[in-house]
Amino acid sequence: SRFPASTTKVMTALLLIERCTPDEVLMAPDSVVTVTGASLHLVPGETMTARNVLWGLMLRSANDACVMVAQHISGSVEKFSELMNQRAKELGCVNSNFHNPNGLNDELHTTCAYDLALITREAMKHEAFRQVVKTQRHEIERSFSMQDRWLKSKNKFLSQDQSADGVKTGWTVPAGKCFIGSATRNGEQLIS
C-alpha cells in the first residue's frame, strides 16, 4: 500500500457522478476555509453544480471541492470515507483504506496501483468523467467568485500523445509523484 495523493479524487469523482445529477447544486461548508493545498478558493455558502464541481476535482485537483462533495453526499468527511471504502470493496479493491476525499497526506489513507486501476476503469464508464479527464483547459461557472474559473490539467501526457485520454496526476511530499494514465490505441484502452 502507498499514499495516493490526488489520484484519490478518481473515487471522489466516481461517487459524485453516481450519487448526484449534473445540475444538482452543492454548497461549500464552513470547513472549506481550513482545507490546504490545491483549491478553488471556495467561500463558505458558495454554490456550484455537480457538473462544475467535477471539473474542479479533476482539472484543478481542488481539495476544498472534495470536502464540499463529502459534506453534500454523506454529511461529513468521515462518513464519506466509509462510503469510499464500501464502493472500493464493491469494485473488488483489495488493498485500499480511504480516510479522506482528496488525498491530502494521512497515515491511514492508502491504496495500491491495482485498486486505482479498478476504480478508474469504473469511472471511465461514465461519459462525463471521460470528457473531463481528457480535457486540457476548461472554464467553469461559479455563483460567487469570478476568480479561479479557468482550469488547466497538469497531465502533460494529454498534449504529448494523441492517444492519451486521461486521467489524474497527484503529488505530496510523502507520496511523491503519482499518476493514473489512460490511452486508447487501435480500439483498445489501457489504464496504467
Instruction: Give the catalytic positions in this structure.
Output: 6, 9, 61
The 10 Å Cβ neighbour count of residue 19 is 15
Smallest CA-to-CA distance from 35 within 8, 3, 10, 67 is with 67
Whether the Cβ atoms of residue 169 and residue 6 lie closer than 8 Å to each other: yes
Q: Is the dihedral of CA 132, 133, 134, 139 positive or negative?
A: positive
β-pair partners for 169: 179
